[in-house]
Amino acid sequence: MNKNISRHVISILLVVAISVGFIFFQFRNVKWNVVLDVLKNVNLGYIGIACLAMFLYWWLESVVLQRFGKLADPTLKLRTSFRITMIGQFFNSVTPFASGGQPAQLYLLTRRKIDIGLGSSVLLIKFIIYQAVIVGTFVFFLIFGFPLLGHTTFEIKYLILIGFVINLAVIVGLITVAKSERVASAIVHILLKPALLFVKKERRAGIRENADSKITSFHEESVRFSGNRRLIWECTLYTVVQLLFYLSIPYFVLLSMGVTDVGLMTVMTYHAFVMKLSSSIPTPGGSGGAEYSFTSFFGMVLSPEKLVMGLILWRLITYYSCTIFGAIAMIPFGSRKNRQLGGNR
Span 124-180, pLDDT tens digits: 888 889 988 988 888 888 777 767 665 555 566 666 777 677 777 877 877 777 677
Residue-level pLDDT at 86? 96
pLDDT single digits (tens) 16-40: 888 889 888 889 889 999 999 999 9
Residue-level pLDDT at 128? 86
AA identity, residue 271? H
Residue-level pLDDT at 1? 43
Polymer length of the chain = 345
Average pLDDT over residues 226-234: 86
pLDDT single digits (tens) 259-314: 999 999 999 999 998 988 887 777 888 888 899 889 989 998 999 999 999 999 99
Residue 258, classed as helix, strand or coil, is coil
Residue 97, pLDDT above cutoff 70: yes
Number of domains in the chain: 1
Residue-level pLDDT at 191? 63
Work out the number of other CB atoms within 10 angstroms of the CB of residue 44.
9
Residue-level pLDDT at 339? 44
CA distances from 87 to 247, 260, 266 (A): 22, 36, 32
Residue 212, pLDDT above cutoff 90: no
Which residue range(s) make up the domain with 47? 2-343
Query: What is the pTM for the complete model shown?
Result: 0.83
Judge whether 263 and 271 are in contact, CB under 8 Å.
no
